C-alpha cells in the first residue's frame, strides 16, 4: 500500500508541475487510478484517493467533471460523499450519477427531484429503481416527457395517490395514456379507468391537444458561499456553478 501512496503523491506532483494543456491528461490518469483502486482500497488509501481526486477536480472544466461523473456512476463502491456532491451539481455534471449510480443517497435524489430542473427529473426517472416517494415528486413537478419516461420505466413504483395523479394527467395526454396502458403492474380498477379515457380520446380526439402543459419546474438554485472552504467545499461550489 505504501507504493500506491507514493504513486498518488507522484500524480499530485505531476499535476502541479504540468502546464494548463497537460493537466487534463494527468487528471484522466488519476480518474483511472481512482476507478481501479477505490473499490478495493483500505480506509487510509481510500481517504488518500478521495482527497487527491477532489483536489484535482477543482481545476477542471465542466467537460472533465462530467467525465469523472461517468466514472463515479459506473463504480460499485465510489465514495458516497463524492457521488452525492456530483448529484447536486449542474445538470451536465450530475446527469451520469443521477441516472446510474446506486451510491447516491435517497434524500439527495429527493432533494434534486424537488428542486431540480426538468432534465434532472428525466434522469432520475431513468434510474434502474425509482422509489414510490421519488415517483410522486416527479409526477407532481414533471412535464410530459418526464412523466412518460417514468411510466415507461418498469423499475418505477407508485403510491396509489400518485397513480391517481397520473390518471388525471392522462385526461390531457394521449401519449401518457398509452404509456400507462402498457404497464403490467396496474390493478384492474386503474385499467378500467384508463380504458374509459381511451374511449373518450377516440370520441374527442382534439380535446387533449387543447389543454395546456403544466408549468415547468424552475432551475435548481444553489446558494453561493464566500467563506474559506475545504477542498471538497471548493469542488462543491465549482460543480454547482457550472450551470
The tens digit of pLDDT for each residue in 31-90 reads 999 999 888 888 888 899 999 999 999 999 999 999 999 999 999 889 999 999 999 999
* pLDDT of 162: 97
User: What's the mean pLDDT in 174-184?
Assistant: 92
**Sole residue written with cell 507514493:** 6
The set of cell numbers assigned to 196 is 374509459
* pLDDT of 210: 42
pTM of the model: 0.82
Residue 204 has pLDDT above 60, yes or no: no
Percent of the chain with pLDDT over 90: 65
* pLDDT, mean over the chain: 85
Q: Given pLDDT bands bounded at 50, 70 and 90, which one contains residue 172?
A: confident
Q: State how far the Cα of 173 lies from the Cα of 6, in Å rounded to an integer.
A: 60
- The pairs formed by 117-121 with CB atoms below 8 angstroms and a separation of 24 or more are 117/91, 117/216, 117/217, 117/218, 117/219, 117/220, 118/142, 118/143, 118/145, 118/146, 118/216, 118/217, 119/91, 119/95, 120/91, 120/94, 120/220, 121/146, 121/217
**Sole residue written with cell 434532472:** 120
Amino acid at each position: 500500500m505504501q507504493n500506491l501512496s507514493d504513486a498518488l503523491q507522484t500524480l499530485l506532483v505531476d499535476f502541479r508541475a504540468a502546464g494548463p494543456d497537460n493537466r487534463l491528461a494527468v487528471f484522466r490518469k488519476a480518474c483511472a487510478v481512482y476507478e481501479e483502486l477505490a473499490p478495493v482500497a483500505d480506509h487510509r488509501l481510500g481517504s488518500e484517493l478521495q482527497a487527491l481526486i477532489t483536489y484535482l477536480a477543482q481545476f477542471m472544466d465542466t467537460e472533465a467533471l462530467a467525465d469523472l461523473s461517468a466514472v463515479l456512476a459506473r463504480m460499485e463502491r465510489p465514495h458516497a460523499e463524492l457521488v452525492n456532491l456530483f448529484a447536486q451539481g449542474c445538470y451536465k455534471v450530475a446527469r451520469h450519477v443521477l441516472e446510474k449510480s446506486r451510491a447516491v443517497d435517497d434524500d439527495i435524489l429527493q432533494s434534486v427531484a424537488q428542486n431540480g430542473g426538468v432534465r434532472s427529473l428525466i434522469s432520475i426517472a431513468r434510474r434502474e429503481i425509482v422509489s414510490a416517494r421519488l415517483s410522486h415528486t416527479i409526477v407532481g413537478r414533471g412535464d410530459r416527457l418526464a412523466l412518460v419516461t417514468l411510466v415507461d420505466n418498469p423499475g418505477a413504483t407508485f403510491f396509489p395517490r400518485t397513480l391517481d395523479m397520473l390518471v388525471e394527467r392522462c385526461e390531457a395526454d394521449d401519449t401518457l395514456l398509452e404509456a400507462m396502458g402498457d404497464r403490467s403492474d396496474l390493478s384492474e380498477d386503474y385499467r378500467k379507468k384508463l380504458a374509459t379515457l381511451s374511449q373518450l380520446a377516440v370520441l374527442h380526439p382534439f380535446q387533449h391537444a387543447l389543454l395546456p402543459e403544466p408549468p415547468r419546474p424552475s432551475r435548481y438554485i444553489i446558494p453561493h458561499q464566500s467563506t474559506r472552504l475545504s477542498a471538497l467545499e471548493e469542488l462543491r461550489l465549482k460543480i454547482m456553478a457550472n450551470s
